C-alpha cells in the first residue's frame, strides 16, 4: 500500500491551507481516504497528481502457454497485445497455468507488490492462472493494478489447454511415484 499523509502533512507538501484541501475533497478535485473517526488521509498518489509528478509505474503484458509445442500461440498472444499496447513491458512463460513458480509471472508479481505496475494486459484470465485468478486479482487491487482482459482469438480451445495442463501435472505425479518406488 502506498503512503498516506495527514491533512497537515499534505497541506505542508502542497503548500495550501487545510480548508482548501477539505474543499478540494468535497469538490472531488482530490481523493481523500476517510478513517473510521471521519479523519481524512491523503494518498501519496493524489499529492503527486496535484503536483504533476508522474509516477514511475509501467504497463505490462503477460502471455503464457503450457508447452513448447504452443510457442506460436505465445508469439500470437504477445504480438496481439503489443499491437494494442506498444509501450507495455512483456512478461511471458512456457509453463502450466496450474503452477505459480513461473519466472515471468513471479517477476511480474514482485513488480506488482512494489507498486510498479499500472495495468496488466492479458488475452484471457487463464493466462495468469488456471485456478486462483481471484486471489491474483485481489493482490492487484491492493496495489492499484488493473488487470485488463483483451478478448483475443485462442488457437487452442480452453479444454485442450486445460487437458494439457492436467497431463503435465499427472505425468509429474506419476514420475514422482515411480521414482519413490525405485529408490
* CATH architecture assignment, domain 58-160: 3-Layer(aba) Sandwich (3.40)
Question: Residue 101: helix, strand or coil by DSSP?
Answer: coil
Q: In the predicted model, is pLDDT for residue 96 greater than 50?
A: yes
- Identify the band that residue 97 occupies on the pLDDT scale cut at 50, 70 and 90: confident
What pLDDT score does 51 carry? 85
Q: Are 34 and 4 within 8 A, CB to CB?
A: no
Catalytic residue chosen out of the listed positions 2, 36, 66, 67:
66
Q: Answer whether 162's CB lies under 8 Å from 130's CB.
A: yes
The pLDDT value given to residue 155: 39
Query: Is pLDDT larger for residue 26 or for residue 56?
Result: 26
Interval 74-95 mean pLDDT: 93
Cβ contact 46:32 at 8 Å: yes
Question: What whole-number distance in Å separates Cα of residue 68 and Cα of residue 83?
Answer: 23
Gap between the Cα atoms of 129 and 125, Å rounded: 7
Read off the pLDDT of residues 117-141 as tens digits, 9 standing for 90 and up: 989 999 998 898 888 899 999 999 9
Q: Does the pLDDT value for residue 111 go beyond 90? A: yes
CATH code, 4-51: 1.10.1660.10
Q: Is the pLDDT of residue 175 over 80?
A: no
Residue 173, pLDDT score: 72
Arithmetic mean of pLDDT, 17-37: 93
Mean pLDDT, range 145-157, rounded to an integer? 68
Ordered by start, the domain boundaries in the chain are 4-51, 58-160
Annotated catalytic, 66?
Answer: yes
Q: What is the pLDDT of residue 154?
A: 45
Cell for 136?
A: 491474483
Which residue is it, cell 504452443? 70
Amino acid at each position: 500500500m502506498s503512503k498516506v499523509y495527514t491533512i497537515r502533512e499534505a497541506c505542508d507538501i502542497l503548500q495550501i491551507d487545510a480548508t482548501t484541501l477539505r474543499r478540494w475533497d468535497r469538490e472531488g478535485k482530490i481523493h481523500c481516504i476517510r478513517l473510521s473517526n471521519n479523519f481524512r488521509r491523503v494518498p501519496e498518489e493524489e499529492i503527486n497528481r496535484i503536483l504533476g509528478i508522474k509516477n514511475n509505474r509501467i504497463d505490462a503484458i503477460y502471455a503464457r502457454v503450457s508447452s513448447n509445442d504452443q510457442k506460436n500461440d505465445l508469439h500470437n498472444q504477445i504480438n496481439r497485445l503489443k499491437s494494442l499496447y506498444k509501450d507495455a513491458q512483456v512478461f511471458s512463460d512456457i509453463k502450466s497455468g496450474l503452477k505459480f513458480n513461473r519466472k515471468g509471472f513471479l517477476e511480474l508479481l514482485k513488480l506488482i507488490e512494489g507498486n510498479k505496475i499500472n495495468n496488466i494486459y492479458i488475452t484471457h484470465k487463464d493466462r495468469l492462472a488456471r485456478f486462483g485468478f481471484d486471489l491474483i486479482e485481489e493482490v492487484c487491487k491492493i496495489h492499484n493494478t488493473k488487470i485488463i482482459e483483451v478478448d483475443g482469438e485462442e488457437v487452442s480451445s480452453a479444454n485442450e489447454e486445460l487437458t494439457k495442463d492436467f497431463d503435465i501435472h499427472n505425468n509429474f505425479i506419476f514420475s514422482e511415484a515411480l521414482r519413490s518406488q525405485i529408490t
